[in-house]
Amino acid sequence: MSGDLAYLGLAEAAELIRTKKLSPVEYVTALLARVERYDAKYNAFIALTPERALTAARAAETEIGAGRWRGPFHGMPYALKDIIDVKGLATTAHSKILKGDIARRHAVVTERLEAAGGVLLGKLSTHEFAIGGPSFDLPWPPARNPWNRDHFCGGSSSGSGAGLAAGFFPAALGTDTGGSIRNPASMCGITGMKPTYGRVSRRGVAPLAFSLDHIGPMTRTVRDNALMLQVIAGHDPGDPGSADEPVPDYGATRGQGVRGLRIGVIRHFYTSDVAGHPEQVEALDAAVKLLAGAGVETREITLPALQDFSACGQIILAAEAYAVHEQWLKERPHDYGARARERLLAGATLRAVDYLQAVRWRLQLRDRVASAFANLDAAITASSMDPACRVDDDEALAANYWRQARMPFNVTGQPGLVIPAGFSKSGLPLSLQLVGHPFGEAALYRIAQFYEEATGWTKRHPPGLSD
């Protein structure tokens, strides 16, 4: 299989499929062969579903051949983090607790991707219940980073990040409660969007913390990300957190450039609240300079300390997650991996008043951020403070949970888009995060698209995966 097909973007593949220059069956067959060849090394998949995929690809090919092209996702291979339900398949949450638990219906996001003609390749590795990882004491091994398999690939949407970087599929879904889309995006050098809270339905997705959970697209390029969000965004009356807001055309700002935009720089997150790795800080400074040079009005803004968002978010997360897991922790504590068990037990000692005060604090933090964003189109800051650490470095892995600037936007619910921002001297991806107003995803895509085209970082792929 040519490397070109492995790293074909969703938008490019869609055009080739629409014009019948690429057969969905050929595309899916080639990607499945690549997964078979390489995934033993990267563990992106928990379950590959080749027969199901080929049946769907054949159906798509027949429909498109008959002139019934449904849109850019028709015949498009994709994969799902294994906390998202697919009717008839197990949703394991990468845990012994749910091993063999067959979903009786599709999650809403699965329904939407299937209705758009998507071709599911399989279910992807995650940190157990989207909270604790990487873990070596679970029924499946953890995903590994294609840029260097001795290094962490991020999480909890670890298989989504690893599989995209490895060229196994052009699009995947992840979930993000405290940064779980944006962390693997940073570590694996791909593009991950945590949309606004309520933008994408969570019905049929295993909850971690109801008021912080988000579902979002993970792709290699910005344009592909916008195309996937277009498919999954929209109101769902069955999800109490779903927002009844109109869904704009996320491709409409493509090619508009960035001149005249006003972007806040939240520099204190990665310089004084937490001291970012010098190469990561340098990459962020270079990005701000590039945007300013293109006519963006940039200015530093000050938000509450990163540690405040982290404390507020972690208290809420721990309390809500414990409500989900209490019974299992009481009855089957031994069936969790060590990392998930430790993180989930944090909720056991919280009092109701702690949780409620954190919820009150959250509203104050949200209002302070809204004031700081009042005259801005978006803001830029770090996602991760460091390139990926070694996967066997327990201390650095623990630090990964607080050396990040993702939780603030789970707390506020604003959209956060992470894109590649270069590479460390050791060849590991660096990243940046763009943050928008609620439901302001289109502005983030506009800025990110400009940056991506100006730098070309997304054109690089991990070495040693060509055939």
Partner 1 sequence: MNEELRDKARALGLDRLTEEHLAQFERAATGMERHLRRLPRGVPVAQEPAHVYRAKGEAP
The catalytic residue positions are 81, 156, 180
* Residue 32 vs 329, nearer CB to partner 1: 329
144-152, 323-331, 370-378, 381-389 -> range binding partner 1 (CB under 8 A): 323-331
18-26, 147-155, 181-189, 311-319 -> range binding partner 1 (CB under 8 A): 311-319
Q: Candidates 312, 380, 428, 435: give the one binding partner 1 (CB under 8 A).
A: 312
Q: Candidates 349, 395, 425, 456: give the one binding partner 1 (CB under 8 A).
A: 349
26-34, 101-109, 292-300, 359-367 -> range binding partner 1 (CB under 8 A): 359-367
User: Could you tell me how many residues of this chain bind partner 1 (CB under 8 A)?
Assistant: 35
Query: How far is Cα 144 from Cα 42, in angstroms, rounded to an integer?
Result: 5
> How many residues can be counted in the chain?
467
Query: How far is Cα 407 from Cα 179, in angstroms, rounded to an integer?
Result: 6
Q: Which of residues 324-343 bind partner 1 (CB under 8 A)?
A: 326, 329-334, 338, 341-343
Q: Candidates 310, 383, 431, 449: give the one binding partner 1 (CB under 8 A).
A: 310
Handedness of CA 330, 334, 340, 342 (dihedral sign): positive
Q: How far is the CB of 238 from partner 1 (least distance, A)?
A: 14
* Residue 206 vs 312, nearer CB to partner 1: 312
User: Per-residue x/- mask for partner 1, residues 142 to 161, rule CB under 8 A?
Assistant: --------------------
**Cβ burial 176-189 (10 Å sphere, 16+ → b, else e):** bbbbbbbbbbbbbb
Strand pairing of 45-48 and 119-124? antiparallel
Q: How far is the CB of 132 from partner 1 (least distance, A)?
A: 10
Query: Residue 214: enclosing H or E segment and its boundaries?
Result: strand 214-219
Q: How far is the CB of 407 from partner 1 (least distance, A)?
A: 11
Q: Which of residues 231-260 bind partner 1 (CB under 8 A)?
A: 240
Q: Is 286 helix (H, G, I), strand (E, B) or coil?
A: helix
Q: Is 427 helix (H, G, I), strand (E, B) or coil?
A: coil
Q: Candidates 129, 169, 361, 373: give the one binding partner 1 (CB under 8 A).
A: 361
Query: How far is Cα 295 from Cα 22, in angstroms, rounded to an integer?
Result: 39
Query: How far is Cα 357 from Cα 359, in angstroms, rounded to an integer?
Result: 5
Strand pairing of 429-436 and 416-423? antiparallel
* Alpha helices for 218-377 (secondary structure H): 222-232, 268, 278-293, 306-331, 338-345, 352-372
Q: How far is the CB of 212 from partner 1 (least distance, A)?
A: 13
Q: How far is the CB of 311 from partner 1 (least distance, A)?
A: 4
* Residue 214 vs 341, nearer CB to partner 1: 341
- The residue among 291, 218, 222 whose CA lies nearest residue 251 is 222
User: What is the 8-class DSSP label of residue 89?
Assistant: S
Q: Candidates 5, 359, 397, 399: give the one binding partner 1 (CB under 8 A).
A: 359
Give the CA distances from residue 79 to residues 36, 114, 163, 215, in Å, rounded to whole numbers and listed in that order.
15, 11, 9, 14
363 binds partner 1, rule: CB under 8 A: yes
* Residue 358 vs 444, nearer CB to partner 1: 358
* Residue 249 vs 331, nearer CB to partner 1: 331
Q: How far is the CB of 324 from partner 1 (least distance, A)?
A: 15
- The residue among 213, 239, 203 whose CA lies nearest residue 411 is 213
**Cβ burial 214-242 (10 Å sphere, 16+ → b, else e):** bbbbbbbbbbbbbbbbbbbbbebeebebb
- The residue among 350, 342, 347, 274 whose CA lies nearest residue 310 is 274
360 binds partner 1, rule: CB under 8 A: yes
Strand pairing of 171-176 and 214-219? antiparallel
297 binds partner 1, rule: CB under 8 A: no
Q: Which of residues 185-204 bind partner 1 (CB under 8 A)?
A: none
Q: Candidates 318, 434, 444, 447: give the one binding partner 1 (CB under 8 A).
A: 318
* Residue 15 vs 342, nearer CB to partner 1: 342
Q: Chain-centre distance of CA 170, in angstroms?
A: 13
Q: Candidates 33, 90, 294, 346: give the one binding partner 1 (CB under 8 A).
A: 346
47 binds partner 1, rule: CB under 8 A: no
Query: Residue 319: enclosing H or E segment and its boundaries?
Result: helix 306-331
Query: How far is Cα 154 from Cα 183, in angstroms, rounded to an integer?
Result: 5
Query: How far is Cα 307 from Cα 282, in angstroms, rounded to an integer?
Result: 22
* Residue 184 vs 337, nearer CB to partner 1: 337
Q: What are phi and psi of 271, to 5 degrees?
A: -120, -40
131 binds partner 1, rule: CB under 8 A: no
Q: Candidates 16, 33, 47, 350: give the one binding partner 1 (CB under 8 A).
A: 350
For residue 451, give both structure tokens: 């940056």
Q: Is 336 helix (H, G, I), strand (E, B) or coil?
A: coil
Q: How far is the CB of 341 from partner 1 (least distance, A)?
A: 6
Residues that bind partner 1 (CB under 8 A): 240, 307-308, 310-312, 314-315, 318, 326, 329-334, 338, 341-343, 345-350, 354, 356-361, 363-364
